[in-house]
Structure 1
Amino acid sequence: MIMKNLPRSLQSVRQHRLFRPGAGLVLASLLSASLAFNLNKAKLFLADSETDGLETAAGLETKTFATAPMTLNLTNMDIDVKGRVWVTEAINYRLQHNPENKARPEGDRILILEDQDGDGKADKQKVFYQGKDVDAALGIAVMGNRVIVSASPNVFVFTDTDGDDKADKKDLLFTGIGGVQHDHGMHTFTFGPDGKLYFNFGNEGKQIKDKNGQPIVDQAGNVVADNGKPYRQGMVFRCNPDGSEFEVLAHNFRNNYEVAVDSYGTLWQSDNDDDGNRGVRINYVLPYGNYGYQDEKTGAGWSAYRTGLETEIPLRHWHLNDPGTVPNLLQTGAGSPTGMLIYEGKLLPSQFQGQMIHSDAGPNVVRSYPVTPDGAGYKAEIVNIVKGVKDQWFRPSDVTVAPDGSLFISDWYDPGVGGHQQGETQKGRVFRVAPANTPYTVPKMDLSSANGAVKALQSPNLDTRYQAYTALQQMGRKGEKALAKLWKTGESRQRARALWLLSKINGRGEKYLKQAYQDKDDNIRITGLRAAQELKLDIIPILKAWANDPNAQVRREVAIALRYSKSPEAPAIWADLARQYDGKDRWYLEALGISSDLQADAFFTAWTSKGGGDITKATDQDIIWRSRSAQALPKLAQIIQKTSNAAELPHYFRAFDFHANSPEKQQALASLLDGNSPAQNQITTLALQASDQSAQKDAKFQAALRRTIEASRGTKQFVMLLEQYGLPEFNQDLQALALTNPESEMARDAARALVKAPGGIDAVAKAFNSKDPQVTQGMLTAVGNYESNQVKDLLQAVMLDTKRPLEIRQLALRKLGSGGSGEDRLVELVKNKKIPTELEETAGTILLRAWRPDIKEVAAIYFKKPSREGKPLPPIAQLATMSGDPVNGKAVFAQSCSVCHKVNNEGAWFGPELSEIGGKLPKQALYTAILHPDAGISFGYEGYTIKLKDGNQVVGIVSSQTEDKMDVRLPGGQVMSYAIKDVVSKKQMDKSLMPANLQQGISEKELVNLVEYLSSLKKATAKN
C-alpha cells in the first residue's frame, strides 16, 4: 500500500477525518522547507470522504481537488490561464488572539496547486511567495505574471519576471489601509471588462494611501477616507492597473467582502451585518450610492434612535427608510459572507449562467442569486450549489472559475468563521464543482494572433480574459477585425467585452460606440454609455435622446451619468427623467437622488419649471422627500400638513434630517408648529424634535413646546422632548413616570431626563429620602444605573445609612457598583474598609462578577471567589461530543445569558443576538466562545472604557458615535448617551466584556445543556 511507504508522521494524518490538535505540524514544516513537492503517489490526502458532508445541487458533483497537508487555512483563491489554483494561507492568523496556535515563523504562503496528470486532483504544489508581510492575506488576483495580494494595511504587486513561478519583484500598490490582519480591511482585486481594477475594503479599512504613503484624492476631488466627507465605512473602488484615476464607486457598507463585475460593467457584492442581527445582504452596486450602514449625515450607528426607524432590525440595520439609502437586492439572514463572482461560463447549468455565485462561511454554503430586472434595479432569489449539511466545519472562503468553466471552492475549514479566532490550523481544502463525470481540462490559449486572443477573451476565467484583453489592447487596429466579428456575431456578454476594447482603438472607437447606442440590446446600450464615460466623451446628446427611453434601467444610467456633468443642459435632462418616476421604483428614485445631490437646487428648479413639485401627487411627494434642495423644504412641510395618515408623518419628517441647518429649514419647521390637522400634536412634536437649538429663542417655538409637552404626558415623546429641552416645571411628571414601573425603559429614560433637568437631582434626592419605601426603592431602581457623580454620591449615602432597611441599602450598593465609575468607586471603598460588615457579601458578589478583569483581580484579594462544584471541566473536544437537554439548556440561558443576549426577542441586547447561532457554529466553537470569550471578540462588540469630564468612567460597547454624541450600550442592554464635549477619552479594552468565569456559576451538566440548546438555534427556512 502507498501508506506503508510513507513516514509514520504521514500515516497518522488520515486516521480520522478531523485532525487531532497538532497533527501534521512536522509534515507542514517539511513541506514549507521546499518550494515544490510532488504528491503523485500520495492520493490518500484527496480521499472522497472529504465531500461526504456536502450536498451539491442537482446536475452537479463536488470533488476534492486538494486538501491538507498540501493546503492549510485557505483565505482566498484565484485560478490562472493554465488552470492552476493559487491560494493564500493563514496559519499566522491573529496569533495574539490565538496563542495556543503554533506560529509559522517564516510567514504565511502563497501557493500554486497544479493537476499535472489530468485526473482532477492537485499533485504538485509550489510556494510562489512566503513572508510575514502576507500573513493571513485576504485577497489574491492573478493577472499574467503579476499577482495582486491584499494584506492590510498593504496591497502588494508581486511579479514573476523569469517565469519560474517565484516572486522576483514586490511592489507596493496601496498602503495605510486599516489594521493589520483585520477581516474588515482590504479584500481582493478583480479585473474588469474595461481593463480597470475593481476592489473594496470593509469598515476597518478607514482610508487608503498611495505607495508613497500619501492620502489618495479620488477623481471627484475627495480624500478617500472614512470621515463623512463624504464617504463612510466600507467602500467600493475602481482604478487603472497602476493605481491612477482612482474612484469611489459606493460607500457605507459594513464588511463588503468581495466585489464582482460582469461583462457589462455592473457591480455586485455581499455585505455582512453586525453579528447576530440576521441582516446579511446582497447588493447591486448603484454607482456613487450610499448603502446605509451608518447615518449618512451624522455617522450615527443604526441602533441609535432616529425618526421613522424601521420596526424590523434586519431592515433598520441598513437605514432603509432614509432618503438617500440604496435598497438591498436581497437579505439572506445570518451569515459570514466571503468570496463572490459572476459566472459567465457555459459548463454549469443554465440557471447559474450570467449569475452571482457566492460563498458564505457562516451557514456553510455556496449559493447563486439568480437576478431578473425589476424597474431600474433587480430582484433575486437563492439557489444553493454546495451546502455543508453534515459538515459544519465547511467554511467556504472563496469561489472562482477555471478556464473550462468549472467552479472551484476554497475551504478555510474551521469550527468558527474568523472574527479574530481560529480553532484549526492544519486543515484546508479545495473543491471542484462541475457536471458529473466532467474531467478537468484546460483549453489552450494562443495570443499570437488576433483571432486567438479574441477566442481567449471569451473565456469564463478572469486571468485568461486579462491576458487576452492586454494582448488585444496592444494590437490596436490589428485586432479590430477579429474583435468586430465578435461584436457583430457574439452573444450579449461577449459582445460587451469586444465593445470595451473596440471603444479604445484610436480613431475607431466612436464608430462602435455609435453602433452600441443604436443596439436593440439594452445591456449593450448601457455598456456603450459606460465606455463613453470612461473615455470622457461628450455624452450629452445621448443623454438627451435617452431621457425618455422606455427602459427604466437605461434611464437609470442616464441619471447616474448626470451626477458630475457640468453641462447647462443637465438640469433639463434630469427633469425629464424625474417626470417619468412611477412612484413605486425605489431604485429609480435613488438614481434620481444620486444624480441630483451635487446640483440639487438647479435640478429641482428645472423639474418644477416643467410641472414637477405637485404636492398632491404621490410621485412628486417621493421626489420632494428625496431631494436635498432647499426649495424642497416648504413643499415638504406642505405635504406633512396635508397628510391624513399619521403613520406616514415620521417618514416625511426624517427627510428634514438630511438638510443642513439653515433659515429655510427652520422656517419650514416653524410653519408646522400650528395647524388644524387631526394629527397636529404629533406633527408639532416631530417638528420640535427636528428643530435646531437656536429656535428656542422664538416665542412661538416656546409656546408650542410647552403646549406639546402638556399634551403628551406619559408618552415617550414627553420624555424625549424634556430630555432635549429640559423644562424644570415638569420634573414632578418625570418623577411620576420613573416610579410607575421602575424597571421599564420608560422609567429609566424619565429618571435620566430628570437628572439632567434643572433642579432634577434635588428631586432624586428627595425621592431617595422619602418615608415611603416604594418611592425610595422605585427611584433607586430607575435612576441607579445612570453614570453621574451626583447620583453615585446619593447612592453611597443611602448605602452607608445604617438607619435604613438592609434591603434598601443592598439595592443602593448594587446600583452604586454598576458601570465603570461605580466599580471604581466600590473598589476604593473596599480598599479603605468603608463597606459595612453586613454589606461585604453583596459588595464581593458585585466585584467578583464585574466585567473588567482588573476589577476582578482586585476583588479576589479581598473576597473569596465563587467556585463551581465538582471536578474540572473536560477538554473542549470531549465536551463537544456530549449530548444534553435543550429544554434545560434554555432555562440555563434564561438565568445566565439572557441579561446580555437575545434569542427570538427574549433577553437583553448587549452582545450578539443568538437566534441562529446553531446554524453558524458547531458545538466546539460554542464551547470555545463560552469558556474563552477573549479569543474571538465580534467586530462591533468590543468593550470600551470612556472617561468623562465629571470624573465618571463608563464601560460598555460604543453603539454609535457622531461629532456631537456618543451612545454606549451597557451590560443588560441599557443605552446611555453622552455629549462628545463631555468625553475625555475612549480606550478599547483588550478583553471581552463577556465574563470569562461564566462556567463557575453553572455545573458541567448545565453547561452541556446550554450548548445543546444553543446548537439547536438555527434558521427555520431550510432553503437558505
Structure 2
Amino acid sequence: MGYKKIKGGIICVCLGLMLVASGCLQNKQDYERLSDQEKRSAEHALAGLETRDGLKTTLFASEDMLVNPTNMDIDGEGRVWVTEGYNYRPSLNPENPTKTDGDRIVILEDTDGDSKADTSKVFYQGNDINAALGIMVLDNRVIVSRSPHVFVFYDDDGDDKADRKEVMFSGIQGEQHDHAVHAFVFGPDGKFYFNFGNEGQVLKDADGNIVTDEFGNPITDEGNPYRQGMVFRSDRDGSNVEVLAHNFRNNYEVAVDSYGTLWQSDNDDDGNKGVRINYVMEYGNYGYTDEKTGAGWRTRRTGMAEDIPTRHWYQNDPGSIPNLLQTGAGSPTGILVYEGDLLPEVFHNEMIHADAGPNVIRSYPVEKDGAGYTAHIEDMLKGNKDQWFRPSDVTVAPDGSIFVADWYDPGVGGHQMGDQQRGRIFRIAPEGSEYKVPEVDLSTTTGAVEALKSPNMNLRARAWLKLHEWGTDAEEQLVKLWESDDTRYRARALWLLSKLPNKGISYVEQALSDNNPDIRITAFRAARQLEVDIIPYVEQLVDDSASEVRREAAIALHHNESQRAAGLWTDLAMQHDGSDRWYLEALGIGAAGQWDRFFVAWSDAVGSEWNTPAGRDIIWRSRAEAALPKLASIIKDPLVNSNEKPKYFRAFHFHDSPEKSEHLIGILQGQGDLQNQQELNLMALKQLDRSALQRSSVVQRELENALTAAKGTQEFLDLVEKFELENQSQELLTLMQSYPDSSLGIRASQLSLEYGGRELIMSVLDEGAEQDKMKVMTVLGNTSTPRSIELLEQYSLNEQNQLAMRRHAITALGSSWGGEQRLVELVKSGIVPEPLHAAAAEGLSDSWRGDVRQLAKTLTGEAQEQQADLPPVTELVSKEGSPEQGKQIFEQSCQICHQVNGQGTQFGPALSEIGSKLPKEGLYDAILNPNGGISFGYEGYTLTLEDGTEVAGIIQSETGSEVVLLMPGGYTSTYSKSEISGREQLERSLMPENLHSGMSQQELVDLVEYLSSLE
C-alpha cells in the first residue's frame, strides 16, 4: 500500500481501488462503517468506485459546482462544459423542486493546476434546455440537443456567455424523454453526426418543415422507409441530412472514428438482457421492430429465435444488421472512440462507453471479422460499492485522459429522479498523470496540424476548420501528416486533402491504392462525398483482397442507377463465401430498391451453380421476384437441413409479389416424408391468406390436415386467425376449457367470439356442467373484449341462472381492465344486486387502482384500507432481511407480473438482474412509489373501442393495422385499428398502488433483500 499527500486528504491505494477521503479508508469495513449520508457525500465519492489496475480516478468537480449532469464536452483549453438536468421531468416528479429560471450549461475549469475544477460559470440558463441530452462546443458555437429543438448558441464577444441562439432543427418528439435527440459530434470529414432514440419520431427544420434525405424520403418513423431510432449526418449548417441507419430503440450517442466508421450502443426493452453495441453500417436496418410491419419483437413469427436478445433485435431476419456485442442488462449512455495514447494500450483506438444501469465505464476492444467485427468487454471503472454512481457521459480531454459525468441517483431509467443535490465529474488517467492541457497554436498550419492529432474532439474540430479554411495553404503540412506512420493521423489528413479544390480527387485516387485497407476505406468514403461518379472507384475496389473494403463498395451502390451497377454488384456477390453475415447485409443494402435487375444479373452469372451456401444466402436476403422460385426450391430440397428451412419461409415475408402465394402453394404439394412435409405445410400455410383458401383445393386439403396435426397449439390458432375459420368452434371451446388462465385459452376465446363461436359458448353457459361453466367464465373474464364482457354481464344479471354461477360470472367480470370498468359502473349505478356484492367485491379486490379496491370494501362493509406506517427509506435500508423469505414473498405477490430467470409472468420488466441496477433505496422507492418511475416501454394505455368499451394494458406491438395489448397476467389481445376510437396513456403505473399494504414491515424488508441479491 502506498500513500501520497494531496490537497484535502490522503490517497490510499488498496488492491487497485482508489479511495479518497478526509482520512484513509483502508478497507471495505472502513467504508461500510460510514453512514449512508457520508457515503453519498462528495468527500467520499471515490470510496465507492473501483478503478482498473494501472489507472487512477480522481474527482474533478462535484455538487455546489454542478448537479445532475446529463451530458458534457471538453474544449481545447481543457474546460468541461456540462448540461444539467435539475428540472428533469417535473410533471412526472411533482414533488421535486424546480429552478424557475431553468436548467444551466456550466463551464468547469481548473485554473490553479491541481487537477480539480475551482471555477464554475454559467454559460446559459433557461427552461428551453431543461434536461438537455447533448452538448457540443465548437469555436464560438455551442450546439445543444433538447427535444423538440436542436439549438446553436453563440458567444459573440468571447465572455463565456451565450449572446444569441438559433434553431437548427425543430419538431423532434420526446420532450423531457431519454429516447429523444442526443448529442452532436464533429466527424473527421467536417460533418456533424447525431442521433435520436425511438421517441424522436421526426426531424424538422427550423421552420417546422419535415426534413427529407438525399433520396427524397421524409425523415419520420412511419416506416416509409424509416422506423424507430435513427442516426444522421449533416453539413455543419444542418443541411443535406442523411439517415445513416434506423430501427434502433435508444441509440444514446454516436461515436465516429478517424476513418469515418460509426459506433453506437442501444438499449433493450428493460429487463431483457439485450443491450447491444453496434457497428453502424450505412443505410442499415437494425431490427428493433419488424422491417415490413413495425411489429414488436415479441410478435409470433416463423423462424423466431429461442434466445431473447436475438429475438429482440430480429437478428434472424434478412435485412437486420448483426449486433457487434451483447452486453446484457443496462442503461447505456455516452460513448466515444479513444484515439489517444495516454491510457493503457488495451484502450487505444477503442470504444469507451458509459452504462448507468450496471454503474460502469468500459471499453469494447474490436477485431476485424470478415466484413464486420467482433468485440469483448474491458472494464475501466465500476461503482461496485456505490450503486448511485450513474455515468451519463464520457469525454476525452486534450491530454488524453477520460472524463466521466455522474448523474448520481438511486434509480436509472423510467421517468423518475431521486436525487437533485448531487452530481460529479471524474477524471481517469494513469497513475501520476496530472491534468496538464497541452499548448496549441492554431494560428499556423504547423500548429493546426499538430492540433489535428489531438485525442480531444473539440481541438481536432477547431484544427479541421482552420486547415479547411486555409485550403491549399495548408497542403504542405497536411501532406507531411499524410505521409506519417500513424494510420489514423493519415486518415485525418486525407479527409482534408480530399476537399482541396481541384486537387482533392488526386489524393483520393492515390489513397485508393494504399496498402492499408482502412486507408482505402477512408479514401472511398471521401470520394463518395465529392461530386464525382463513384462507379469507376467501385470498379477499382470490386476485387479488393479485404472484404471490409468490398463491403464499402457494395454499400456505395445503394440507389445507384448506373447501368454498370448491376454488374459490379454481381462481381461483389460472387465473392460472398456463405459465412459472412456482415458482407451479405452490405450486398442487401447495395441492392435496395433495385433487387430485380441486380438479382437477374447475378442469376445469369451464377447459372445452375446457385444452390450453394453462398447462393442460398443471397436468395434468402434478396427481395427480387425472381428469387421466389429458388426460395421454394431450397425449402423443398431434401438435402437442406430441416432446421434451416424456417429461415427461408421467413424470407417470403419480405416479398410483395402476387406470385408469392403460388410458390407457397407449390410447397404444399411436396412429396417429402410425412412429418417433415407436415412441418413445411404448416409454415407455408401461415404465409398464405383466405384468398388462397378460396381458390385452391390444395390449400383447402392441406389446411384440414394441418389443423388436425396442430390441435391444441398456438399454431392451430394461427391458422384459425389467418384463414378466418368459422368451423372450428368446438376445438376452440376445448382450448378455452383446457387453458382458461393462459394465453392459449384466452386467444382461443377471442377467436371463437370473433369467428362464430358465440352460440356454442352460450350453450355451455346455459346447459353445460358446472365445472365447464366455471372454466368458460374464467377464460371470458381474462379475454377482455367487448363480446366477452357482454356475455358475462348478461349471465351474471340474469336471475334465471343459478346464484352460485352468477357469482362466479360477476367475479370473472372483474378480472380484466375492461370488465373491471364495466363492473365498477354496474356497482355504482346500483344494478348489481345485494346477493352478488361479495362476488363483485372479490372481482375488484385485486385491482391495481386503490379507489377500486376501496369500492370493493364498501360492498362487503369492511373497514377502509389503511396504509401501514413505515419508517423512512433511509431507515429501512439499514434493516437486515432474509433473501430466502423475500423470495417466497416475491413468488406470492410479484411473480404474477414479473419474471426472474424465466420464472413468473412477462408483464412488467424482468427483474433477473435488478440488484445490479438499483440499490436498496431505489428498490424501496419502486415498490412504495410505483407511479414515480415507469420504465420506458411499460407505460399503460387505455384503448377506447368503437362501442365505447375500454381496455387497458401495455402496447406490446403496433403496426399500421393493429395494436397488440399486453394485459396484467401476461395475456395479449389484438385490436384492429379500425375498431379503436381513441387511446390515452395512463398517468399511473400498472403496478398496484400500496402493494406493500398486505405485508408486514419485515416482509417488505425481506422482499427488498431478495431483489437486491438478483445480479
Band the TM-score falls in, shorter-chain normalisation: over 0.9
d(CA) in 2 for partners of 1:17, 1:183 = 32
Aligned mate of 2:615, from 615, 620, 638: 620
Q: Which residue of 1 aligns with 2:53?
A: 58
Structure 1 pair 988–866 and aligned structure 2 pair: CA distance change class (3 A): farther
State the one-letter code of the partner of 1:994. M
> Does 2:684 match 1:694?
no
2:271/2:911 contact within 8 Å kept: yes
Mapped to 1, the partners of 2:853 and 2:614 lie a distance apart of: 60
Q: Shift of residue 719 of structure 1?
A: 2.2
Distance 2:764 2:868 in 1: 49
The alignment yields a C-alpha RMSD, in angstroms, of 2.2
Alignment partners' CA distance in 1, 2:768 and 2:652: 48
Q: Which residue of 1 aligns with 2:16?
A: none
- Per the TM alignment, residue 649 of structure 1 is displaced from its structure 2 partner at its CA by 2.5
Letter in 2 for 1:234: G
> Are 1:647 and 2:639 matched, yes or no?
no
Cα distance in 2 between the residues matched to 1:368 and 1:90: 26
Task: Tell me, in whole angstroms, the C-alpha distance in 1 between the residues paired with 2:863 and 2:891.
Answer: 20
50-59 or 324-333, which moves further after superposition? 50-59
Contact 2:813-2:843 within 8 A present in 1 as well = no
Q: d(CA) in 2 for partners of 1:866 and 1:289?
A: 60
Q: What is the aligned counterpart of 2:411 among 388, 407, 416?
A: 416
Shift of 1:610: 0.6
From 235, 240, 243, the equivalent of 1:245 is: 240
CA distance in 2 between partners of 1:345 and 1:565 (Å): 37
Partner secondary structure for residue 133 of structure 1: helix
Conserved 8 A contact 1:866-1:1001: no
Match of 1:1008 in 2: 1005
Is 1:973 the counterpart of 2:963 in the alignment?
no
Alignment match, 1:728: 726
* Matched-pair contact (CA < 8 Å) for 1:46–1:121: no
Q: Which residue identity does 2:131 align to in structure 1?
A: A
Equivalent pair of 2:741/2:782 in contact (CA under 8 Å): no
Listed as ranges, the matches of 1:879-958 within 5 Å are: 879-958=876-955
Equivalent position of 2:63 in the other structure? 68
Q: Would the alpha carbon gap of residues 869 and 205 (structure 1) be closer, same or farther in structure 2, given more than 3 Å must change?
A: closer
Paired residue type of 2:749: A
User: Is the partner of 2:628 in helix, strand or coil?
Assistant: helix
Q: Provide closer, same or farther for how the CA distance between residues 941 and 866 of structure 1 changes in structure 2, counting only shifts above 3 A.
A: farther
Residue 105 in structure 1 maps to residue 124 in structure 2: no
Summarize the alignment of residues 524-673 of structure 1 with structure 2, pairs less than 5 Å apart.
524-611=519-606, 614=609, 616-643=611-638, 644-660=640-656, 662-673=657-668
SS at match of 2:592: helix
Deviates more, 1:830-839 or 1:229-238: 830-839
Q: Which moved more, 1:885-894 or 1:692-701?
A: 692-701
For 2:610 and 2:659, the matched residues in 1 are separated by 18
User: 2:425 is matched with which residue?
Assistant: 430
Query: Which ranges of structure 1 fall in alignment gaps of 5 or more residues?
Result: 4-10, 24-44, 1019-1024
How does 1:425-464 map onto structure 2 within 5 Å? 425-464=420-459
Q: Which moved more, 1:302-311 or 1:274-283?
A: 302-311
**CA separation of 1:995 and 1:711: change in aligned 2, threshold 3 A:** closer
* Partner residue in 2 for 1:847: 844
Change (3 A) 1:895 1:322: same
Q: Distance in 2 between matches of 1:305 and 1:156?
A: 42
Over residues 542-593 of structure 1, what are the superposed CA-to-partner deviations in whole Å (9 max), with x where a residue is unaligned?
2112212121101100100111212111101111111111111111111111
In the alignment, the residues of structure 2 paired with residue 761 and residue 649 of structure 1 have an alpha-carbon distance, to the nearest angstrom, of 38
Contact kept? 2:690, 2:724, Cα under 8 Å: no
Q: Secondary structure at the match of 1:663?
A: coil
TM-score (structure 1 length as normaliser):
0.93
Q: Deviations over 1:129-155 (max 9, x none)?
A: 011111101101111111101111111
**Preserved contact between residue 294 and residue 301 of structure 1 (Cα < 8 Å):** yes
Secondary structure of the residue aligned to 1:52 is helix
What's the CA shift string for 1:915-944, capped at 9, x where partnerless?
A: 111100011111111111111111111111
Q: 2:104 touches 2:129 (CA, 8 Å); kept in 1?
A: yes
Report how many aligned residue pairs link the two structures: 983
1:780-830 Cα offsets, whole Å, 9 max, x none, are 233332233333233234434667666644432222112232112211221
Q: Distance in 1 between matches of 2:662 and 2:753?
A: 32
Corresponding residue of 1:776? 773
Indicate yes or no: 2:276 matched with 1:281: yes
Distance in structure 1 (CA, Å) of the matches to 2:653 and 2:424: 50
Tell me, in whole angstroms, the C-alpha distance in 1 between the residues paired with 2:481 and 2:819. Answer: 74
Aligned counterparts of 1:212 and 1:580: Cα–Cα separation in 2: 47
| Aligned equivalent of 1:767 | 764
Q: CA deviation at 1:697?
A: 2.4
Q: Are positions 1:325 and 2:323 aligned together?
A: no
Equivalent residue letter for 2:467: L
Counterparts of 2:518 and 2:334 in 1: how far apart (Å)?
Answer: 25
Q: Which residue of 2 aligns with 1:787?
A: 784
Once the two structures are superposed, residues 166-211 of structure 1 have per-residue CA deviations (whole angstroms, 9 ceiling, x without a partner) of: 1111111111011321110000000000000000000000101111
Counterpart selection for 1:362 from 357, 378, 383: 357
Cα separation, partners in 2 of 1:445 and 1:863, compared to 1, 3 Å: farther
User: 1:612 deviation in Å?
Assistant: 5.4
Q: Does 1:996 align with 2:987?
A: no
Q: 1:994 Cα shift?
A: 0.8
2:752 is aligned to 754
Deviation track 1:615-668 (CA, whole Å, cap 9, x = no partner) reads 5312111110110111111111111111453332221111111112x3221221
Q: Aligned pair in 2 of structure 1 residues 289, 986: CA closer, same or farther (>3 Å)?
A: same
CA distance in 2, matches of 1:560, 1:853: 56
- Residue in structure 2 matched with residue 394 of structure 1 by the alignment: 389
1:787·1:952 contact (CA, 8 Å) conserved in 2?
A: no
In structure 2, the CA distance between the partners of 1:870 and 1:847, relative to structure 1 (3 Å rule), is closer
- The aligned counterpart of 2:27 is none
- Tell me, what secondary structure is at the counterpart of 1:769? helix
Structure 2 CA distance for aligned equivalents of residues 248 and 568 of structure 1: 25
CA distance in 1, matches of 2:862, 2:642: 56
Deviations 1:201-234 (CA, angstroms, capped at 9, x unpaired): 0000010111111110111210001100000000
Structure 1 pair 542/676, CA: closer, same or farther in 2 (3 Å)?
same
Could you tell me how far 1:699 is from its partner in structure 2? 3.1
**Which residue type is aligned with residue 999 of structure 2?**
I
Distance 1:215 1:317 in 2: 30
Q: For 1:513-528, what aligned pairs fall within 5 Å after superposition?
A: 513-528=508-523
Structure-1 separation of matches of 2:70 and 2:827: 50
| Partners of 2:174 and 2:283 in 1: CA distance | 25
Assess, with a 3 A threshold, how the Cα gap between structure 1 residues 67 and 121 changes in structure 2: closer, same or farther: same
Structure 1's 788 and 67: CA in aligned 2 closer, same or farther, altered over 3 A? closer
Provide the residue aligned with 1:29 in structure 2.
none
Given the superposition, is the C-alpha separation of residues 20 and 1000 from structure 1 closer, same or farther in structure 2, using an over 3 Å criterion? farther
Is the Cα–Cα contact under 8 Å of residues 827 and 859 in structure 1 kept in the other structure?
no
Q: CA deviation at 1:861?
A: 6.3
Secondary structure of the 2:727 match is: helix
User: What is the CA–CA distance in structure 1 between the aligned matches of 2:70 and 2:517, rounded to whole Å?
Assistant: 38
C-alpha separation in 1, matches of 2:731 and 2:868: 55
State which of 822, 827, 846 in structure 1 corresponds to 2:824: 827
**What is residue 344 of structure 1 aligned with on the other side?**
339
Q: Residues 867 and 361 from structure 1, CA distance in 2 versus in 1: closer, same or farther, beyond 3 angstroms?
A: farther
- Deviation string, structure 1 residues 827-852 (Cα, Å, up to 9, x no partner): 12212333343432332243343234
Q: In the alignment, what sits opposite 2:716?
A: 718
Contact 1:613–1:624 (CA<8 Å) still a contact in 2?
Answer: no
Cα pair distance change 1:789/1:538, threshold 3 Å: closer
Corresponding position of 1:199: 194
Matched residues in 2 for 1:740 and 1:936: separation? Answer: 38
Moved more, 304-313 or 106-115: 304-313
TM-score (norm 2): 0.94
Q: Conserved in 1, the CA contact under 8 Å of 2:413 and 2:936? A: no
Matched, 1:80 2:86: no
